[in-house]
Chain A
Amino acid sequence: MSSLLLGILWGVAGVLVIAGGAVIGVWWERKVAGHIQLRYGPQQIGPAGSLQMLADVPKLLFKEDIVPSGADRPLFKWAPLMAFAPVAAAMAVIPFAAGWAPFDTSVGVLFFLAVPSLEVVAILVAAWAQRNSYAAIGGLRAASQMIAYEVPRTLAVAPLVLLAGSLRPTEVVAAWRWWWLPLLAIAFVVYLIASIAEMNRGPFDLPEAESELVAGYFADYSGMRWAIFMMAEYGAVITASLFAAATFLGAGWPFSGALGVVALVVKTSVLVTIVMWTKWTLPRVRQDQLLRFCWVVLVPATLVQLAIVGVVLPWM
């Protein structure tokens, strides 16, 4: 019973963290994009426009919730939550501080890799439910892309598990040494690229490519349901960055305790910024190029990384 209560508590906390992160993330993305594009981004409400989202969130809440006439209503309504839930769940296994994660399980790493992948189901459901050709194309693109990039992403995490000798994230953090950084550089880069593809962000944002599919798999969503999709996207960015910061970059290293948490947040922010920077720098790739890049570049690269780690491992 108490574990159920605890689960609910952590669930609410995770949702709040993601929602807060999404609010800040949207503002930060707009600032980053603005400055990169020779603009300023939001600057009217609050210092540097930081309270912009306070205005945007009520607006989204009060917008009409439109359900297209031909839509599969129950699926259409539930799809955003189905997209959001895995992302929130993934938060549970992140080791925020040394030796502590909300849900410290022995298969944490596997959990983190597997659960967010459920999002692809939500996306397919959303795409299907809208009865919209653009959404259908977007959903199919998303499915092929996310399933394909699961492979390099998982392979990129594998060396980490090998080095730590455990699938428990807290133990990975505990085992982390600074020289893992150069050693796992390839894996880190591949993980980042694959994560970007997983969360459908530029330059791999084909499922929602604005110039082609208008908004892709959530083309017909409006108001808060649309916002939940966006939250899921930002949540994915934040969780992926948090996980990378915790496992690849050593969580609170070189500090510990509260300062360590701050270090983790800073590292995460830097990673999030890099993800945004990438989006606003690179053109979008085409579907065939996307898949070719996955199989021809990323997967071999991770295999090379595995081999390197395999060579190093006996010496430890």
Chain B
Amino acid sequence: MVTEELTLNIGPSHPSTHGVCRLLVRLDGEIVTHVEPIIGHLHRGIEKMAENRTYLQVVPLTDRLDYVGSMYANWAYCRAVERLAGIRVPERAEYIRVIVCELQRIASHMMGIGSSAADTGATSAFLYAFAQRDLVIDLFEELCGARLTYNYVRPGGVSFDLPDGWVERCRAFTAQHPKAMLEIDGFFFGNAIARARLKGVGVLDPDAAVAWGVSGPSARGSGVDWDLRRDDPYSVYPRFDFDVPIGSNGDAFDRARVRLWECIESCRIIDQALDQLEPGPIMADGLPRLLAPRPGDAYDHIESARGSLGVYLVSDGSPRPYRMKVRSPAFCNLAVLPLIAVGHTLSDLLVILGSLDPVFGEVDR
């Protein structure tokens, strides 16, 4: 019998591409023989746009890098600016940043777990995760008025102080969240069909993960024990006690479940941070409205929900960055897709893509 490979374009507009990615796939029946992610559909030239805006005006742009985790891009950018301009951030602002970024990690991981669930057809598990995400987003809305693009972390601090009663509502959230996570664990990760769909699918071995620059939960699922919060401590993270969950098989199941456990650990960090939070200023003193750092360059990275997110800034002494470069974890993570997806079925391909949890705003920039 003569068979022919079927070439299929998945995306750029497709329910499971998590944004606008195009996967050029060749299929032998249901089996994927070749996959090539074609990116750039969401390229807005943010790095170039940053060169024409003041340092403050760039912050809303960074919101739109990883729109599922805007706080991270805000923070990474602000850290680079602060390093460049030599700004000392008040301690309260650092704590608030840690709190909102851990909340953001939860919100983002809910998206990651949710998409793992939705890709396997478990829409309910997706929505259970999203209910938790909604609670976080409500907290953020109270904090800064926005639900997705927060523009909250600013060079020198944060834009608003915590409103009245926010700390209590945040504690209420972290009190119920681990329980909800364990329920989702039992409901989805314990389900026989979900296990059959996720286990052994898209196995990424640790050496390949390191070689390809995969970071974050996607690497930790393969057993790469690397977390910037612990291994290159920044901000006030050294003051917190937390564990870094790792997987051993490196399959889609491990990657998704690492995210689930990270959420539980994030609650632990938030609780400690709320305990240690003290009143004080939230913005560095004497910050001019128009920042114009001395000529030079700075790089800083943080552990975002997707991995190591870095921002490199060059200043020529003017009030606008000379160059901004974003080291995007989603981009690096996406690169391993052909490596781990070939040989699986079409259904698995999308599960594997979802388990890498790319956000194309950040991939394409």
Contact = CB atoms under 8 A, between A and B. Distances in A.
Q: When A and B assemble into the complex, do they touch directly, with CB atoms less than 8 Å apart? A: yes
A296 to B, nearest CB: 13
Nearest to A134: B8
A141 to B, nearest CB: 8
Interface in A1-38: 33, 36-38
Contacts of A282: 121-122, 191, 193
B244 interface: no
Q: Is the interface of B mostly helix, strand, loop or mixed?
A: helix
A283 B15 contact: no
B193 A288 contact: no
A209 B347 contact: yes
B16 A288 contact: no
B228 interface: no
A297 to B, nearest CB: 12
B196 A281 contact: no
A38 B345 contact: no
A133 B8 contact: yes
A202 interface: yes
A127 to B, nearest CB: 13
Interface stretch (A146-154, A170-178, A210-218): A210-218
A136 B117 CA distance: 25
Contact of B124 (A209, A212, A214, A280): A280
A56 to B, nearest CB: 20
A75 to B, nearest CB: 20
B169 interface: no
B15 A133 contact: no
Contacts of A288: 345
A137 B348 CA distance: 15
Contacts of B159: none
A284 B121 contact: yes
B121 A283 contact: yes
B210 interface: no
Interface residues of B, number: 31
Interface in B124-138: 124-125, 127-128, 131
Interface in A188-222: 202-203, 205-206, 209-212, 214
A137 B127 contact: no
A69 interface: no
A212 B197 contact: no
Contacts of A73: none
A202 B193 CA distance: 12
Interface in A103-134: 133-134
A203 B128 contact: no
Given A210-B15, A283-B191, A286-B347, A205 B121 contact: yes
A63 interface: no
Interface string A286-315: 111100000000000000000000000000
B52 interface: no
A234 B300 CA distance: 56
Contact of A203 (B16, B193, B348): B193
B146 interface: no
B49 interface: no
A59 interface: no
A81 interface: no
A285 interface: yes
Contact of B120 (A38, A281, A283, A287): A283
B119 interface: yes
A214 to B, nearest CB: 6
A243 B10 CA distance: 40
Interface residues of A, number: 28
B264 interface: no
A302 B207 CA distance: 48
Contacts of B246: none
Interface string B161-192: 00000000000000000000000000010010
A211 B196 contact: no
A209 B347 CA distance: 9
B119 A211 contact: yes
Given A211-B16, A212-B16, A287 B347 contact: yes
A217 to B, nearest CB: 15
A285 B346 contact: no
A282 B7 CA distance: 30
Contacts of B124: 33, 36-37, 280-281
Contact of A214 (B14, B119, B128, B131): B14
A206 B121 CA distance: 9
B56 interface: no
Given A211-B16, A211-B119, A37 B193 contact: no
Nearest to A286: B347
A37 B127 contact: yes
Given A38-B128, A283-B193, A283-B194, A211 B345 contact: no
B16 A286 contact: no
B346 A137 contact: yes
B30 interface: yes
B187 to A, nearest CB: 9
A136 B7 CA distance: 12
Contact of A39 (B6, B127, B348): B127
B26 to A, nearest CB: 11
Contacts of B347: 206, 209, 212, 284, 286-287
Given A133-B6, A287-B347, A288-B345, A37 B197 contact: no
B196 A285 contact: yes
A285 B117 CA distance: 12
B118 interface: yes
Contacts of A202: 121
11 contacts: A37-B127, A38-B131, A133-B7, A202-B121, A211-B15, A211-B16, A211-B119, A212-B350, A282-B121, A284-B122, A285-B196
Interface of A: 33, 36-39, 133-134, 136-137, 202-203, 205-206, 209-212, 214, 280-289
